[in-house]
Amino acid sequence: MMRRYANKYRLYVTLAVMLIAPLSLNDSTWSRGAVQDSSDILTAQAIQKKKDEIYNKYKDQREKIVRSPQEMKEMLVGIQKQIKERNLHFVAELNEMMKYKISQITGARVPKNIEREAKVRSEAGNRLWEEFFKKYRERFRKKRAPDYEEQKKEDKKTESDKDTEEYGHREEEKQKDLEKREEKPDEIRTDIQNPPSPDAAAFSWVSRNMVTGVKIQGVCGSCWAFVSVAVVEANYLIRKKMSLDLSEQNILDCAEAQQPAYRGGRVVYMKSRAGSCQGGWYGPVFEYLRTHSAALESRIPYQFMESTCKPAGADQYRIMAWGYVKPDAGIPSIREMKEALCKYGPLAACVKVTPAFQAYRSGVYDECAAVSGERDINHAITIVGWDDEKGAYLVKNSWGSEWGEEGYVWVKYGCNNIGYGAAWAVASGME
């Protein structure tokens, strides 16, 4: 399913058509999960006008190209030489993304007080998660124990026998049975049905068809908005079996949150935007989506640039909790990353993009470029799986399906600060 939908996102020359497609009621691919009303139906004349407007905006983007074909070829020769000399394990080829500066097509901007913010947000998120999981576990017990009510009656009947040896033995057996029944879900403490195991040598949410199609951010530093939407869309697929196409434009234009700041040693909250085409961060987006719904792409299509905030309408696509895998938003260990992927689903995270990353076509990206520290990242991505034989995470990018392996890249464990800022979110309505 995901691979088929990914083909909707083709070369830049088709972007105008791509953005109008969600407005058509006849295209089931784009209307999946949507609640349509008469306001969504445009006349043929209005649709053509919208196409012209978006195509003109795309032409404006073409003026941002900074490399000529010859410069791109020279760049590729240097990268391929490096791959050969260092015996690296990925293939590099010419692609559309090499036309631009890295700063034009990335956009992850680490908040100044990320460690303190992560601590505050993660504590709140974990508290909400534990409250939810407690309720879930109780429902699980009732579902897995058909004799739940009968057992309560039996407990009342044997109340007077508490001091007997037989009663003590029976209670011990009941406890063992309950622990055995709960062993699998409690192992990684997740509400996901048939959860994957962090002990598996390889796993991918893509292989379970629980990841939506690859999208394209264009020449706008909105990767932070795309990764936020990717995580939420996957969550609705995994937990609610709903396939959604949510609006990155709505997030780009509207997402803002009360951010913790520190004045005189105390925490104060100040409202600020999550980001812009000059960059941003997904944490404020998740906080925003706790109280505001994401919009559908069919209502607010992507424009490749900032615009005025438009309301999401009657849509109700929110999250109930979110947090960072590490309480300081640092890079999780491989084990911690696997456990989080199994417990929550695909994760928002970051990586340092280099020219070699731009030119990636296939294989395991193992350049392992020099970094100045954990916060030396520039791009937000979605981690969807792992493979120990490859020694790499499977990453969903937002550069279209023509880039990499149909929009994906294998990034070697530990390379280019992969995983910094790893964050999870859980769809609302599960509680």
Residues labelled as active-site residues: 223, 379, 397
- Distance, CA of 416 to CA of 406 (rounded, Å): 21
Which of 255-284 are b and which e, b meaning 16 or more Cβ less than 10 Å from the residue's Cβ? Answer: bbbebbeeeeeeeeeeeebbbbbebbbbbb
Helix extents (H) in 366-410 = none
What number of residues does the chain have?
431
- Residue owning tokens 């709903």: 242
Neighbours of 104 (CB within 10 A): 18
Half-sphere exposure of 36 toward its Cβ, with a 13 Å CA cutoff? Answer: 15
- Distance, CA of 218 to CA of 225 (rounded, Å): 12
Q: Which two tokens stand for residue 299?
A: 């209502």
Which residues lie across from 409 on neighbouring strands? 395
If 0-12 CB within 10 Å is exposed, 13-18 middle and 19+ buried, where does residue 47 land? middle
- Residue owning tokens 């009947």: 157
- Residue owning tokens 């097509």: 105
Neighbours of 58 (CB within 10 A): 19
* ∠ CA 405-408-413, rounded to 5°: 115
Q: Which two tokens stand for residue 261?
A: 């700041």
Q: What letter represents residue 43's amino acid?
A: T
